[in-house]
Amino acid sequence: MDNPWEVAQNQFDEAAKLSGLEDWLCSLLREPERVMTVSIPVRMDNGDVHIFTGYRSQHSSLRGPTKGGIRYHHNVNLDEVKALSMWMTWKCAVMNIPFGGGKGGIKCSPKKMSSGEIERMTRKYISEIACIIGPTKDIPAPDVNTDPQTMAWVMDTYSRISGGYTPGVVTGKPLEIGGSEGRNQATGRGIYFTILNYFKHKKQSVDKKNVIIQGFGNAGKYSAMFLEKEGFIITGVSDSTGAIYNSKGIDVEKLIKVKNKTKSVMNYKDAEKISVNEILELKTDILIPAALESSINSVNACRIKANLICEAANGPITKEADRILEDKNIVVIPDILANAGGVSVSYFEWVQNTQSFYWTAEEVDVRLRNLMEKAFNNIICIAEEKNISLRMSALMIAINRVSAAARLRGV
Q: What's 44's DSSP letter?
A: -
For residues 296 and 35, give the distance between their C-alpha atoms in angstroms, rounded to a whole number. 28
Our answer to whether residue 261 is catalytic in this structure is: no
Q: Per the annotation, does 353 bind a ligand? A: no
Q: Per the annotation, does 17 bind a ligand? A: no
3 state DSSP class of 405: helix
Residues in the chain: 411
Q: 390-409 and 361-386 are packed helices; what angle lies between their axes, rounded to 10 degrees?
A: 100
Active-site residue, selected from the candidate residues 17, 82, 103, 305: 103
Q: Are 52 and 76 in contact (CB under 8 A)?
A: no
For residues 312 and 221, give the distance between their C-alpha atoms in angstroms, rounded to a whole number. 11
Give the CA angle between residues 350, 353, 356 to the nearest 5°.
150
Q: Name 6's Cβ contacts closer than 8 Å, sequence gap at least 6.
A: 79
For residues 398 and 258, give the distance between their C-alpha atoms in angstroms, rounded to a whole number. 40
Q: Per the annotation, does 346 bind a ligand? A: yes
Torsion angles phi and psi, residue 331, rounded to 5: -80, 135
For residues 20 and 287, give the distance between their C-alpha atoms in angstroms, rounded to a whole number. 33
Concatenate the DSSP letters of all residues of 282-347 into one string: S-EEEEEE-SSTTSB-TTTGGG--EEEEE--SSS-B-HHHHHHHHHTT-EEE-HHHHTTHHHHHHH
For residues 354 and 350, give the distance between their C-alpha atoms in angstroms, rounded to a whole number. 6
3-state secondary structure string, 343-380? HHHHHHHHHHHHHCCCCCHHHHHHHHHHHHHHHHHHHH
Q: Tell me the β-bridge partners of 289.
A: 214
Beta strands at 284-289 and 210-214: parallel, antiparallel or unpaired: parallel
Question: Which of 95, 90, 175, 106 lies closest to 143, judged by CA?
Answer: 106
For residues 289 and 360, give the distance between their C-alpha atoms in angstroms, rounded to a whole number. 30
Q: Per the annotation, does 374 bind a ligand? A: no
Q: Per the annotation, does 200 bind a ligand? A: no
Q: What does each C-alpha distance from 401 to 28, 94, 340, 411 come to in angstroms?
A: 14, 8, 16, 16
Q: Which residues are annotated as a binding site for substrate?
A: 67, 91, 346
Q: Which residues are annotated as a binding site?
A: 67, 91, 187, 218, 346
Residues labelled catalytic:
103
Q: Which residues are annotated as a binding site for NAD(+)?
A: 187, 218
